[in-house]
Chain A
């Protein structure tokens, strides 16, 4: 994890005091840009920086032009880059594998050897932010003219690696407010938030990860009680790790005087899947809603289309998390859950209404069903399908 490195602590120990001591907003802006560039260069390396610079320049120029065709072309370029860097071995391997598994393995290996050892750092987040920006430019909602502003929007280091996914309409005003004047309250709140994030990550989540990695291969051989404890541990590990990381990102930004949007709002308190996705990785779910679901038609074309759109959106959401079938299945799992959750009252008529009324009268039951469904989904997220199935089945057998 990038924030738990000595380099990062040394970097922050130098950057933050310099930032706070500079009396002029423009100087702070410049220092922040330099700091972000150093951060990105250090962790991404040349192989990671160059593609992002190319995409950023293309996006900036397309945005400056305001021309729809340029925006569309650059959106395609960004999505294609993500596809090539992150997904090409998977896509090619899966497609060819339908006919010739050995050839598929060879193709996937050849592609991996042709590409850098790992995709450019944070390419998933860059792509989403560039696509959002270009889409909004096309809709005439905004245009960034300052290259410094755009560069900072691109490589703002607190949210670079794991979000929250920024919207430039919110980020740029927050950036300018922050560099204009950093209050002591911002620093104090930011420090506290960073500490909370690290506590979630290093005190709890890392330990849970070690426990899970040790016991998961022998999951079905544990006692029933232990299996349920591990099941809960898996769910809390991802929540604390991811939300902890978001806390650190939000806290660091706040120490610059910059407010980032919240990314998690107690997601395991949700009593429906819709509510879960309003509380979990909020910046991702809103992005998917605004830039995939709504352009696909959303819920404007009837229930059937709404359900199909939901499946597409969540399959893509799953794929975004990783290039493997279990991520897609996890996405479809949530798409299916949302399809049922959002439409059973309508589709099941009187029975549906009765079920809905019953669940409304017993919120803990809704909560338990939602939590159980989400936690089962994590088995699909982390483990290959056969293993996930065995683990899930073993929760209900001696």
Chain B
């Protein structure tokens, strides 16, 4: 049971992370002024 919950929880975390990376690709195209901290 614990293992199944752990797997499910991990899967959900993974799905959230995957969806978030998809969102980051969108956010790149709508970024305002990027704060370029330390390009050099």
Contacts and interface: CB of A to CB of B under 8 A. Distances in A.
Interface in B14-39: 14, 17, 20-21, 24-25, 27-28, 31-39
Contacts of A57: none
B32 A124 contact: no
A195 B40 contact: no
B20 A4 contact: no
| A124, A206, A241 interface centre (most CB from chain B within 10 Å) | A206
Contacts of A120: 40
Given A9-B25, A202-B31, A206-B34, A121 B20 contact: no
Interface in A99-158: 118-125
Contacts of A242: 37
Given A121-B39, A122-B40, A123-B40, A195 B20 contact: yes
B13 interface: yes
Question: Could you say which of B21, B25, B39 has the most chain A C-beta atoms within 10 Å of its C-beta?
Answer: B39
A283 B38 CA distance: 15
Contacts of B37: 1, 162, 238, 241-242, 245
Contact of A202 (B10, B24, B36): B24
Interface of B: 10, 13-14, 17, 20-21, 24-25, 27-28, 31-40
20 contacts: A1-B34, A4-B24, A5-B28, A85-B40, A86-B40, A118-B39, A120-B40, A122-B39, A124-B40, A161-B39, A162-B38, A191-B14, A192-B13, A195-B17, A202-B24, A202-B27, A205-B35, A206-B32, A210-B32, A241-B35
